Structure 1
Amino acid sequence: MNLIRKFAIGALAAISALPNIASASAAELNLLTWEGYAADGFVSKFEAASGCKVTASYVGSNDDFAAKLAAGGGVYDIITPSLDTVPMLHQAGFVDPIDTAKVDGYDGIYPEFSKSRAVVADGETWAVPLIWGSVSLIYRPDKLPSTPDSIGVLFDPANKGKISLWDDKSAIYWTARYLGYDNVFDLSDEQLEAVKAKLIEQKPLIRKYWASAGELTELMANEEVYVSNAWTGLSSKDVNALNKGFKVVEFTPKEKAEGWMDSMMIAKGSPNTECAYKFISFMQSAEGQCGIAGSTGYFPVNPKAVESCMNADMKKERQVNNVEFVKSLVMWEQPKRLDKYLEVWNAVKAAP
């Protein structure tokens, strides 16, 4: 029995041992989500229109969703994992299927996302696309002697102590691309060993693995870090808005940037499905799509919804109707051997 299957069974056992977990009232909605995904600017509009009170808890990594659901650390109605995590959550039994007939605006979502094999599986729809974007590299041009063009900047000894990296298994994807592997989601044992060795070799260069966009912003604002991977649009906007006397710049490495899409899933046995479907529908509206895009700097999944709330320049910046940009990215997928990837990443973090 592989590691992820063992984890799923253990997680479900943990949930079954918590009989009082579903205790919220029908007028509440509890989100387990990312920073910026429950900003008051648009959530308050939803609350006023729906009568549903929103409470949000936040994650720093996709690995947090299963762990928090298994631990029973609260009542969660909607979770918003990325594309490479959606399959594991439904396979583990953490979520209920989605009735798309209850989602207003569903037909306006890019079919490349709504019909993804990660979203639609086993004859059911398990998630509703919410927002998408890319992961690029961010750096201080005043601190680096030349303009970088490669992931290699994260492995350069000249930047020792000033490098950061997201604390997530996706560090494997970055390193695999840097080593020249194209099959980043289906690495062989030999390739995974090479990736692990490279990441362990890199560790003395790392100032800190960041857990959230806010933490990376602080690391850069406090001049502890000069270069890192980062959520495209969000981190540079937040750091530069602090007016610290320097600017950070994003770039797409020659090995390509990563692409992701976050979706809304309904937690298994949620007592608040009425509010959940209202929220999922709201997030496909102009207020929802432009609201979350505005709070994060990311890209809307529903081009029809933003027709009236984004001007031409904003649509261009946020890649509206630019499906070709999606094709230019290494879009996240659940690794074929997720258990092995988790083992490697945990071994890297445990290494001295």
Structure 2
Amino acid sequence: MTDFTQTRRSTLKLLAAGTGILAAPSIIRPAFAQEKVVNITTYDKFVPQEFIDQFQKDTGIEVRIRLTDDQGKQYNLLSAEGSAPSTDIVTVTGHRLSQFIKAKLLAPLDTGRLKNWSNLASAYKGAPQLTVDGSTYGVPLLAGFEGLARNTEYTKASDSWSIMFDEEYKGLTTYIISDFLSVTMLYQGNDGDYVIYEGKPEEAQAATDKARDFLIEKKGQVRKYYDAGSEVQQMLVNEDAYVAQAWSGPAAKLIMDGHPIELTVPKEGTYGFLYSFNVVENAPNAEAAYTFLDAILSSPEIGAAMTRQSGFASAFAGVENVLNDRERAANALPAEQMERIKFFSPLNRDMKNDMVDKASAEIKAA
């Protein structure tokens, strides 16, 4: 039986655990580097350029980055390439891991090959999102959640997602349709992660339809449906939107940069996620991939640089000692808000993906 054990306590530990210049990574120089290139598919701002430059200098291994903005695109690419992948490392969220593993797209991680594995924050070394049948399937990188971001200069304080539907901000809200559909289901008292609907497709469809119809009814609230974190950042900075559903990373980055943005978890709750680097099955440059993964774990300064660039909380130990007060504050939440975060579950993903994708298309087309 596949073990996806996950608790509210583990959720809090994972997010709480992760709250410059890069240290010279002399400890990452390998004794033998058989391959001279590593191909990585990841999100924008996840891997600091300073780290890449130093890694290439120290190891002679060229780092080739392919950017993605969607888990589905990564999955489709690897599936199409089959047993001859062009990528060595991909960036997968914990709740999508089972989909990749079921399709035999990822290799179990040999943590014994990573001498810097101990540099992870303690809560992440056995992260339940990355453990399947006793095997680890990724190096934890960054943790985040779906939050409510608002411009504090033009909006009133709110502890509810209802502010997204407030007529006072008509035409001044923005969100990712598929993400906010799940949040809206939670706002309506239903399960936006579909865990309780396993084996209950009719109940799941009714909850989905209710959220879909509500978002269509409230479509006039929306300035624009966005797709990438950089889009919501631009809209908030340019004051094209005053309130938004946003990933914590892009919103926290604005706070770090001094913009008048507040990031909260409303009383109805939200969902969290964990990003990891995963070695691809039949990776063409597996040895170089492990050298890269061990290098990125080599110091808290690297984790801090990843947090500064992405805004997401780091999974590396000691990062909180490297970040400044503003950077730490951008990733901090009151305890009662932390309690409202539930990590996305890998259970019942096919039903969820099918229903959310269909409803999202209908909302957009309405």
TM-score range, shorter chain: 0.7 to 0.9
Q: State yes or no: 1:60 paired with 2:69.
A: yes
Residue type of the alignment partner of 2:165: F
Q: Compute the displacement of 1:66 (Å).
A: 0.9
Q: State yes or no: 1:207 paired with 2:223.
A: yes
What secondary structure sits across from 2:275 in the alignment? strand
Q: Compute the displacement of 1:297 (Å).
A: 2.5
Q: 1:126 touches 1:265 (CA, 8 Å); kept in 2? A: yes
Q: 2:230 touches 2:250 (CA, 8 Å); kept in 1? A: no
Q: Which residue among 34, 38, 49 is the counterpart of 2:43?
A: 34
| Residue number in structure 2 paired with 1:163 | 173
Distance 1:285 1:75, change over 3 A: same
Q: State yes or no: 1:140 paired with 2:154.
A: no
Q: Compute the displacement of 1:273 (Å).
A: 0.9
Residue correspondence of structure 1 range 75-154 to structure 2 within 5 A:
75-110=86-121, 112-144=123-155, 146-154=156-164
Q: 2:39 touches 2:65 (CA, 8 Å); kept in 1? A: yes
CA distance in 1, matches of 2:340, 2:349: 24
User: In the TM superposition, what whole-angstrom CA distance separates every residue of 1:64-88 from its partner, at most 9, and x where no partner exists?
Assistant: 2212323449822111111111111
Q: Compute the displacement of 1:340 (Å).
A: 3.8
| Residue number in structure 1 paired with 2:286 | 273
Distance 1:327 1:90, change over 3 A: farther
User: In the TM superposition, what whole-angstrom CA distance separates every residue of 1:22-42 from its partner, at most 9, and x where no partner exists?
Assistant: xxx931122111121122122
What secondary structure sits across from 2:93 in the alignment? coil
User: Structure 1 unaligned runs (5+)?
Assistant: 1-24
TM-score for both structures, normalised by structure 1: 0.79
| Residue number in structure 2 paired with 1:290 | 304
Q: State yes or no: 1:342 paired with 2:363.
A: no
What secondary structure sits across from 1:142 in the alignment? coil
What secondary structure sits across from 1:94 in the alignment? coil
CA distance in 2, matches of 1:135, 1:104: 33
Residue type of the alignment partner of 2:360: V
| Residue number in structure 2 paired with 1:237 | 253
TM-score for both structures, normalised by structure 2: 0.76
| Residue number in structure 2 paired with 1:5 | none
Q: Compute the displacement of 1:120 (Å).
A: 1.5
| Residue number in structure 2 paired with 1:251 | 264
Q: 1:28 touches 1:52 (CA, 8 Å); kept in 2? A: yes
| Residue number in structure 1 paired with 2:7 | none
Q: Which residue among 21, 37, 43 is the counterpart of 2:52?
A: 43
Distance 1:236 1:85, change over 3 A: same
Q: Compute the displacement of 1:98 (Å).
A: 1.0
What secondary structure sits across from 1:276 in the alignment? helix
Q: 1:137 touches 1:250 (CA, 8 Å); kept in 2? A: yes
CA distance in 2, matches of 1:233, 1:212: 11
Distance 1:341 1:308, change over 3 A: closer
Distance 1:346 1:297, change over 3 A: same
Q: 2:268 touches 2:340 (CA, 8 Å); kept in 1? A: no
What secondary structure sits across from 2:129 in the alignment? coil
Deviates more, 1:127-136 or 1:85-94: 127-136
Q: 2:109 touches 2:136 (CA, 8 Å); kept in 1? A: yes
CA distance in 2, matches of 1:327, 1:49: 43
Distance 1:26 1:132, change over 3 A: same
Q: Which residue among 208, 216, 229 is the counterpart of 1:192?
A: 208
